[in-house]
Amino acid sequence: MGRHSSTPADELAVDWRSDRVGSARRGENPMVMAKVPSGYVVFGDTQHLPGYCVLLSDVDDADHLTDLTGAQRTQFLEDMALLGDAVFAVCGGRDPAFRRLNYEILGNSLHHLHAHVHARYAWEPAEFRKGPVWRYAYEDRFAEQHDPLSSPEAEELDELRTAITTEIHRLLKAR
């Protein structure tokens, strides 16, 4: 298990995954990397594509960008860009096969405003490189080997998480 949690992953699944924002606010979400002005940056539940992170809005009842005021919307998008800058810097510096980032705001499953930032790599199978990550089979994306809390690569994933977190804090200070 990764160093960011002392609770077994199967016990955490009952709590924080059912209320991601509330658990982040209470300090109970083990995936939280940083608090940013618009919400919380979390390490993705799966690291199928290493560096996957999510920005969770901290605005109650916000389901769409249009639910935010203009200032809140600008802040959310600036924070999403900052997260992307951090993932880009770290993943680009660690893996020469890093190609680009994909940004997505969907809301089809979790009805609370959040933004996905996916690192994309040249080592991905050709049939998946040009489309959204959701084209990968669910079983492949969420295989145990990609779980940052319980996979055999948890320590390596912790290093990636720490590097991205450090870069987020550096960028926040530079604002």
pTM above 0.85, yes or no: yes
Decide if pLDDT at 12 tops 50: no
Give the residue from 4, 8, 62 showing the smallest Cα distance to 33: 4
Decide if pLDDT at 9 tops 60: no
CA distances 98 to 25, 33, 87, Å, are 32, 22, 10
- Reported as a single tens digit per residue, the pLDDT across 18-60 is 899 999 999 999 999 999 999 999 999 999 999 999 999 999 9
CA distances 84 to 15, 64, 91, 101, 103, Å, are 28, 20, 10, 7, 8
Q: Specify whether the CB–CB gap between 51 and 159 falls below 8 A.
A: no
Mean pLDDT of 68-95: 98
* Residue positions counted in the chain: 175
E strand segments, the chain: 32-36, 39-43, 53-57, 98-104, 114-121
- Reported as a single tens digit per residue, the pLDDT across 99-128 is 999 999 998 887 899 999 999 999 999 999
Burial (CB < 10 A; 0-12, 13-18, 19+), residue 66, is exposed
- Mean pLDDT for all residues in the chain: 91
Place of tokens 């955490």: 12
